[in-house]
A = this chain, B = another copy of it.
Amino acid sequence: MSRTGSAPLDAVLTTLEERRPAYEERVARLVAIPSVSTDPAHAEDVRAAAETVAGWLREAGPLEVEILATEGHPAVLARWDGAPEGAPTVLVYGHMDVQPPDPLEAWTSPPFELTHRDGRWYGRGVSDDKASMTIPICVAEAFFAHGAPPVNLRFLFEAEEEVGSPNLPAVVRAHAERLACDVVLSADGGMWRADLPALTTRARGMTGLQLTVHGPTKDLHSGRNGGAVANPLHALAELVASLHDADGRVTVDGFYDGVEGPDAATQAALDALPFDEEAYRAGTGAPELHGEVGYGTLARLWDRPTLEVNGIGGGYQGPGSKTVLPSHGFAKITCRLVAGQEPSHVLAAIRTHLEDRVPAGVTIDVATERDGAIAYRIPDDHPVLTAAEAVLKEVFEQDPVRVGMGGSVPITAAFRETLGAETLFFSFSVADEDIHAPNEFYRPERFRAGLEAWARLWDRLARDAASTGAETRR
């Protein structure tokens, strides 16, 4: 069924299977590079990850590969335009950076050493997003080994996803012509469950800030001064506690402006999904599930916004006790946003809420930690969804479902705005793989399935375009 010039799919699939051990070795090499984008001390590691990925792209075939400097960490751009006339152009997106590994002591094996244990691969970033982003590079190489891929290719790998992709929108704008495509295939995103193929049709947006409460200019003795000087940790607790009510709703005036979801159709789809709440709870280890009153768990996770404190700190943190009245305390806050919410509006609303409630005896400082990202949803009737569903059914021999995602892939908005292209999340990570947490892992069988699925998807998109004249772009 392959078209003129393109490699035959069967041969490509055979090659992917033969070369799989070498491709798995690439994942181990990439995990070994501690590309922690939030920590300036790891800037050289992030660059090393970009150079490694660029090297693989150059090995893959006659791609034009470039490492793009940004104001932050570099991105890798690659392109190839040799597909037959009329073939669609796909832009593959993924990210090379990872979250910090702390708390280090909670890891069973070293975070930056891919470790095979109990049929899993463990390592920081293996699931988010190093294994899944390596897959399409290998698939391109296998196609070139037998001729050429059936679709025109662009690859864009960034190294700032974990810090909110501050520079990627500018990169996309600056290289819009070279990145022009019919559809974006994101290797980032994560599949809902390990036992059920799924396509993620929406992701929450995000914004964040750091609240710092200042009291005395230095830590004071809590006996000598306690009672007469406001304790900034009390004020911090009061401010943080003021952000939610007893019903789990965010109390910030304006926070829910524009929020309507889930609509009736979405709610009906949520209700139709097989979902074992108790199994989900057990997986988190929380004593019970808890969230915004009036919504089910899946709606809370995918279609309702949140305001979460990711870290709080101040005063003495060590063993035992130290009787200080601390000079300051902080709370690191991020919000997950849904359709209708503007990140800047949400940030301004939180700032106003906090500034209106500064307790006596302290001052506060609200710092924006990252650029905001609006929520994303691919249109339900986009042809790439139909193609991907067919591919997942072939690979997993099971009908896939459509689901949401609580996390964020901020760059989707830039792809839509600048390139006019929608994004399909086509990741073979699974949502339970402890990403951003100790002992992050990946399922080796998903790496195999991913190689097959990406090859089949490119092939199907090309065939659909050729045989039906259907537009891959919508």
Contact = CB atoms under 8 A, between A and B. Distances in A.
Q: Mostly helix, strand, loop or mixed at chain A's interface?
A: loop
A325 interface: yes
A323 B290 contact: no
A350 to B, nearest CB: 14
B106 A304 contact: no
Given A218-B106, A311-B315, A312-B314, A38 B227 contact: no
A1 interface: no
A274 interface: no
Contact of A320 (B163, B290, B320, B434): B163
Contacts of A332: 315-316, 321-322
A143 to B, nearest CB: 33
A31 interface: no
B38 A320 contact: yes
A140 interface: no
Contact of A241 (B230, B237, B370, B406): B237
A467 interface: no
Interface size class of A (residues with CB under 8 A): 35 or more
A102 interface: yes
Q: Chain copies in the assembly?
A: 2
A39 B318 contact: yes
Given A312-B329, A438-B218, A227 B324 contact: no
A327 B436 CA distance: 13
B221 A285 contact: no
Given A40-B319, A336-B226, A219 B438 contact: yes
Contact of A284 (B225, B285, B315, B438): B225
Nearest to A247: B360
A472 interface: no
A336 B222 contact: yes
21 contacts: A220-B436, A222-B310, A223-B336, A223-B405, A223-B406, A226-B406, A227-B304, A228-B291, A229-B286, A231-B309, A233-B331, A234-B243, A234-B309, A237-B241, A237-B312, A248-B360, A288-B360, A288-B361, A320-B369, A321-B369, A324-B437
